[in-house]
Structure 1
Amino acid sequence: MVERMVPNPRHERLRRLLLEAGERSHEVRQAYLRAFGAMGSGRVWTGPAADRWTDELADRHHRLGQLAQRVVDTVEEEMRRHPPLVTEAEASAIRREMAGRT
């Protein structure tokens, strides 16, 4: 008898995590835009110190975006390692493992 296939609890948890990571990634990418735009306008602060600060702000903005994308990429990679459907017995075992009851 073929066992019924059900959603993989681990895959489902990763899918929710991916949605959350995507939302947070978008927020992170917007984090410095307002300040960077203001500094780039030349109306907020000017001079050599302002230029260095703006360059540092741009660098941090770029690195933060890269790190946020790495989180999304890592979750996507982990999702590919777990099938979306498993047998009922496998799903039960996965739920026990995720709950720390192996």
Structure 2
Amino acid sequence: MAEPMVPNPRHAELRRLLAEAADRGEEVRRAYRPASAAMRSGQVWTGPTATAWTAELEARHRRLGQLAQRVVDAIEEELRRQPAMVTESQANAMRREAAGRT
């Protein structure tokens, strides 16, 4: 007799993690916009050092956004690799592993 299939518990956890990573990624993408806009306005600090500092700030901001997107992409890839349904014993094993009881 075939074992009953149940929703994969990893799916729920990965979806939760994906939502969290997407939210944090959006925060990262917005994080330095006010400082960058203020610096580009020319009303905060001017001169060659200010220009170099602004360029560095914006480069780091872009890099943070790229890294945040890589995290989201990795979680999405893992979610695609996981089957939506698993056997009940597989689901129980996944729950035990997640709880640290293997």
| Consecutive aligned runs of 4 or more in structure 1 exceeding 4 Å deviation | none
For 1:97 and 1:51, locate their aligned partners in 2 and report how far apart those are by CA, in whole Å: 51
Aligned ranges 1:35-54 → 2 under 5 Å: 35-54=35-54
Matched, 1:24 2:41: no
Root-mean-square deviation over aligned CA pairs: 1.1
Aligned to 2:79: 79
Q: 1:12, 1:84 within 8 Å by CA — same for their partners in 2?
A: no
Q: Secondary structure at the match of 1:58?
A: helix
* Contact 1:25–1:68, Cα closer than 8 Å, also in 2: yes
Equivalence for 1:3: 3
Runs of 5+ unmatched residues, structure 2: none
Name the SS for the 2:24 alignment partner. Answer: helix
Q: TM-score, normalised by structure 1?
A: 0.93
Please, which runs of 5 or more residues in structure 1 have no aligned partner? none
Q: Which amino acid aligns with 1:76?
A: E
